[in-house]
Amino acid sequence: MTAPATTGTPAAPVRRPSASLGLVRTVLRLHRPALYAGAGLFAVLTGLLLWLHGPAMDAAATAWRQYDHCQEAACAYDQDSLLVYKSFSQYATIAVTCVPFLVAAWAGASLFGRELETGTARLSWSQSVSPARWLAVKLALPAALVTAGTSVLVLLHQRTWRRSQTRIDTAKDWTDALTFHANGPTTVALALFGLAAGALTGLALRRSLAALALSVLCTAAVGLGTGLALPHLWPTVRTVTDLHHNGPTGVGITVDEGLLTSTGGHLADPHCGSDLSTPCRELYAKLRAVGFYRDSHPYSHYWPLQWVAAGIVLALAALAVLTAFRLLTRQVGAAPKEARR
């Protein structure tokens, strides 16, 4: 008689730690100084914007009310509060618009350039992490932090600017170039482009200093190009006035202006003034001008312009990321095989 056969219990599979999670911890550990510096900058700018939104603006608004109610040449008002608010609001606006360039410099020099220059990247690739996964994690994690941090700063800046429009007489108008971008998603989009540019230049140059310079230069070029193209990204509104005015009229961002002729043509504004003066009337008659025109963007076009410009910058960022992945594949070839147990 034979003993019944027994079936062995299969061993439970051993769970190996995720390579991506390990890489996330490695990225955070390697770039801890930059993380601390970024958190410190975020805290300082957040505090500054909250102060401008609250106590500083209240003090400046009170000073403006005092000044507006002055009836005498010598009048007492809190001039220091006005000057402090004006200066620090400008500093805050400049700081928010400079965030994309700081991101580009860090990404090109430290996040990618230095790791490729020192060989840290290849060490990661030898630890069961494919180059593609390495690049994806090093882009995704900073992108999430950059998007969240920059979005908060932009929202705070916009809320502060909105509150200042009815309270501070010298507050910047929405057409001011720095204010325009500091209030909207173009700054967030440009920060993400700076990150993508840093990845691409770091992979291409493999030198931290050169990658820093080139990534900042690329980000500046895209920012400048976007600013130049922005007035042409949305249809304008035309304001036509007669020649009794001193020139073209209209509000917002001016795209084009000049004289309208009787044949429907457009001429440059000679800046003569109203046709109520004899020389100007004779000049306009010679030019066959019938009125002034101005093509411009009113405030209602602010968000369409912002979103179209931000979409273009994000498309360029996606193109830079795609190019970085293709360049990495060409440089290192296939992903390394996982180490055997």
Question: Could you tell me which of 11, 228, 200 has the C-alpha nearest to residue 108?
Answer: 200
CA 123 to chain centroid: 34
The pLDDT value given to residue 71: 65
Lowest mean pLDDT among 41-50, 71-80, 121-130, 199-208: 71-80
Instruction: Write down the H helix ranges in the chain.
Output: 19-30, 32-51, 57-68, 79-106, 115-118, 120-125, 131-164, 177-182, 185-205, 208-229, 278-287, 302-332
CA 115 to chain centroid: 26
Residues 24 and 171 in one domain: yes
Contact 259, 292 (CB under 8 A): yes
Question: Could you tell me which of 265, 284, 267, 266 has the C-alpha nearest to residue 275?
Answer: 284
The pLDDT value given to residue 335: 45
Residues 279 and 226 in one domain: no
Provide mean pLDDT across the span 244-267.
91
pLDDT band with cut points at 50, 70 and 90 for residue 296: very high
Residue 276 placed within a domain: yes
Residue 316 placed within a domain: yes
Can you name the residues that pair with 296 across neighbouring β-strands? 237, 254
The pLDDT value given to residue 340: 39
Residue 289 placed within a domain: yes
Of 233 and 332, the one with more pLDDT: 233
pLDDT band with cut points at 50, 70 and 90 for residue 1: very low
- In this predicted structure, the answer to whether residue 19 has a pLDDT above a threshold of 70 is no
- The tens digit of pLDDT for each residue in 60-90 reads 998 888 887 776 666 777 788 899 999 999 9
Residues 189 and 279 in one domain: no
φ, ψ (nearest 5 deg) of residue 293: -135, 150
The pLDDT value given to residue 166: 87
C-alpha–C-alpha distance, residues 104 and 108, integer Å:
6
Look up the domain containing 292 and give its range. 237-300
Residues 281 and 161 in one domain: no
Of 252 and 339, the one with more pLDDT: 252
Residues 35 and 147 in one domain: yes
- In this predicted structure, the answer to whether residue 128 has a pLDDT above a threshold of 90 is no
Residues 41 and 58 in one domain: yes
- The tens digit of pLDDT for each residue in 130-162 reads 888 889 989 999 999 999 999 999 999 999 999
- In this predicted structure, the answer to whether residue 23 has a pLDDT above a threshold of 80 is no
Provide mean pLDDT across the span 94-108.
96
Residue 310 placed within a domain: yes
Residues 39 and 164 in one domain: yes
pLDDT band with cut points at 50, 70 and 90 for residue 266: very high
Lowest mean pLDDT among 75-84, 160-169, 236-245, 273-282: 75-84
- In this predicted structure, the answer to whether residue 127 has a pLDDT above a threshold of 80 is no
C-alpha–C-alpha distance, residues 113 and 45, integer Å:
28
Residue 12 placed within a domain: no
- In this predicted structure, the answer to whether residue 311 has a pLDDT above a threshold of 70 is yes
The pLDDT value given to residue 118: 87
Residues 30 and 65 in one domain: yes
Lowest mean pLDDT among 18-22, 26-30, 111-115, 283-287: 18-22
| pTM score of the predicted model | 0.87
Mean pLDDT rounded to a whole number for the chain: 88
- In this predicted structure, the answer to whether residue 44 has a pLDDT above a threshold of 60 is yes
Residues 242 and 142 in one domain: no
- In this predicted structure, the answer to whether residue 239 has a pLDDT above a threshold of 70 is yes
Contact 141, 24 (CB under 8 A): yes
Please say whether the dihedral angle defined by the alpha carbons of residues 252, 258, 260 and 264, taken in this order, is positive or negative.
negative
List the 266-267 sheet strands across, edge first. 237-241, 289-297, 253-261, 266-267
CA 28 to chain centroid: 24
Domain count of the chain? 2
Lowest mean pLDDT among 16-30, 51-65, 87-101: 16-30
Residues 39 and 133 in one domain: yes
